[in-house]
Amino acid sequence: QVQLVESGGGLVQPGGSLRLSCAASGTIFSINVLGWYRQAPGKQRELVADITSGGSTNYADSGKGRFTISRDNAENTVYLQMNSLKPEDTAVYYCNAQIRTTPWGAYLQYWGQGTQVTVSS
């Protein structure tokens, strides 16, 4: 079994910063892409940023210049540093991982349980 556990969400004032973490554990052979998604009330889940095993990053326009995604391959962990937060960043943030549990298996997608980020004064 594979688990993704997120942490680091909370309430922050506009202009503030938060750092989200997501640790993958369980039977893991390799991890391909790691990503962060978010879902605001009444809206569809959307990509925030993702990062490949080689370190290539991709950001949604909404977070470019403010958010930074990084990963620690040794610890199977992905981070999202969020600066200059805006009220419109308020959402539940979900970690996503493409994980292979055996050398011959396919990469499957796994999701964390989500962590709430609220940006409000």
pLDDT by 10-residue block (mean), the chain, 121 residues: 96 98 97 98 97 97 97 97 98 98 96 97 95
Residue 107, pLDDT score: 97
Please give the structure tokens belonging to residue 59.
């950001």
Residue 47, pLDDT score: 98
Residue 46, pLDDT score: 98
Burial (CB count <10 Å: 0-12, 13-18, 19+), residue 97: buried
Phi, psi of 83 (to 5 degrees): -115, 165
